[in-house]
Amino acid sequence: MKTEYLRTAKNSYMIVKDADFEFESYELEMVLQNDLKNLVPMQVLVADGKVEYWFDVTGMKTLEQELSVADADREMIKLLLESICSVKMELEEYLLDDKDIPYTMGMIFRNRTGNRIQFCYIPGYHCGDYPGIRKLFEELMQRLNHTDQEAVRMTYGIYEICALAEPVLEDYLEILYGNANQTDAVCNANLDKNERFMISVDSQNNQRENHPNAWKKGDINWNREYLTSEQITDTKRKEAGTDKRKAESKETKEGREKQETGWRSPFLRRGKRKKHTLDMDYYGPEKEEATAVVAESMPDFNAGETVCFSESSFHSIWELVYMGDGIEKNLVLDRFPYIIGKNSSLADGILLAQTVSRVHARILQENDTLFLEDHNSTNGTYLNGHLIPMNTRMPLQEGDRLIFATEEFVLKSKMVR
């Protein structure tokens, strides 16, 4: 099974090919003859003897496109779970199985107003070896806003159920409107390591508060001064050697001084003793004699060589140069993916024209190659005059003309510092 996209002047279609599954004829009739509000409108065409399913996705965006702009929050997850419940109940009324719904991000659509999610129904899809809803929530956990605890609770709650068995309607309702105890259990089960560590520390502090006698402050003398071995030795030396130092005769000192300096006059000896005493009482860093140093320049290892710095100080960037007659400005592609649209909180390159969609298109970069992708915009995206389909990456090169609705740009590369 493969999917293709087609864009006309008025409509956008997702075409599913090679979906050769066995199914009961009434299943297809039920979908074609009835207006199921939770399903994307579908037509069946036969080309070269093969069945093709054409889904009208005009004005819709896939879940993958939505999450490429912003992470899933509680509103998104709640809308998704409620939509799954609605489609399950609606299909049961027509004796259809929701296992024939591809629960993949590229085949789940959100309408233009954002208040409804619709699914694609392919008869006999459950016969193929394709991932179920568990795979969907695995991908959602990677696109989740983990600061939103309610979104984390619902997403991980469904995923834990998927790990045991296929979720049923009651499981979704329990996650959506369950009791508070189960909510707390799911949240605590999915905390990261840092949060678990903080909780364990808090629990230890609570235990200490509940058991104040666990540490008895009186058992420890907090004011006691502990002496090092050097301080103890010095103290003993002061106690035992005071009298000995007082009894030392003047002659002994003079004799020791004579051995060190030889014979000198009393005046010289007095000066030497004074200097010696100062040196003994000085506890700062040892004074060093100043030595004259001649500064020498470092050898130039590149002497005689020619060095060019111009290339290293410049680099190339991509820019969309505005060619229209409106009030738009040039767009510098300083990050990828680079989102272009009217919504200032979601788009990197903001366009002011009313014909531009909130999230109109995006430009990606892979292996130094740029690609243009339309986000199923209302008035379309054109590459060199050709209307490009949604969810289709078109390679770009310098000089290409890009038109977002009515606003035209030219892709250029320039060198900057």
pLDDT tens digits for range 245-257: 555 555 555 555 5
Asked if residue 301 has pLDDT above 60, the reply is no
Place of tokens 């419940």: 85
Q: Would you state the pLDDT for residue 141?
A: 96
346 within some domain: yes
Residue type for position 326: G
Q: What is the pLDDT of residue 55?
A: 98
Residue 336 lies inside a defined structural domain of this protein: yes
Coil, helix or strand for 185?
helix
Among the ranges given (87-96, 157-166, 276-285, 297-306), the one the predictor scored with the smallest mean pLDDT: 276-285
- pLDDT > 70? residue 1: yes
Residue 170 lies in a domain: no
Q: What percent of the chain has pLDDT over 70?
A: 68
> What pLDDT is recorded for position 241?
55
Assessment of whether the complete model's pTM goes beyond 0.85: no
Average pLDDT over residues 289-307: 54
Cβ-Cβ contacts under 8 Å for 84 (sequence gap 6 or more): 98, 133, 172
Rounded mean pLDDT of the chain? 79
Q: How many domains does the chain have?
A: 1
d(CA 253, CA 308): 74
Residue of 120, 142, 122, 108 whose CA lies nearest to 18 = 122
Q: What's the pLDDT at 300?
A: 54
- Residue 310 falls inside a structural domain: no
Cα(31)–Cα(373) distance, integer angstroms? 31
In a domain, 393, yes or no: yes
Quick check: is 150 in a domain? Answer: no
CATH number at residue 333: 2.60.200.20
Residue 349 belongs to domain spanning: 315-416
Q: Give whole-number Cα distances, 121 to 11, 27, 34, in Å.
A: 19, 10, 13
Within a domain: residue 106?
no
Q: How far apart are CA 175 and CA 123, in angstroms?
A: 29
Question: Is the confidence at residue 191, as pLDDT, over 50?
Answer: no
